Amino acid sequence: MAAANRDGEALLDIVDAAQQIQAIVQSLTLEAFKSNREKQAAVLYFCITIGEATKRISQAKRTQHPESLGERWRGSETSSLINTTAWI
């Protein structure tokens, strides 16, 4: 698969996951979200999906857009992301 095609598919996965997160939380208050483990798990799943999709983006595209594809979503950030959501 060509890098541009792979980049496009990964970016679509990121956009889709972000839209899914927005749909999950848009009608919830923080308190309602904090008390709903199912919603929390769904948001975490889509955050992990974003992290995994960023790993599939070529180095050339990451270099071209470093502000959009930050390091925090790649590598070992799954455990960091889980720790970040511990307040929930």
- Please give the pLDDT value at position 71: 54
Q: Return the closest-CA partner of residue 76 out of 57, 52, 56.
A: 52
pTM over 0.75, yes/no: no
Count how many domains the chain has.
Answer: 1
pLDDT tens, the chain, 88 aa long: 576 789 999 999 999 999 999 999 999 999 999 999 999 999 999 999 998 998 898 888 888 877 765 555 555 455 555 555 544 4
Structural domain boundaries, residue 15:
3-87
- Please give the pLDDT value at position 88: 47
Q: Return the closest-CA partner of residue 86 out of 44, 26, 45, 46.
A: 44
Q: Which residue has the tokens 């955050």?
A: 47
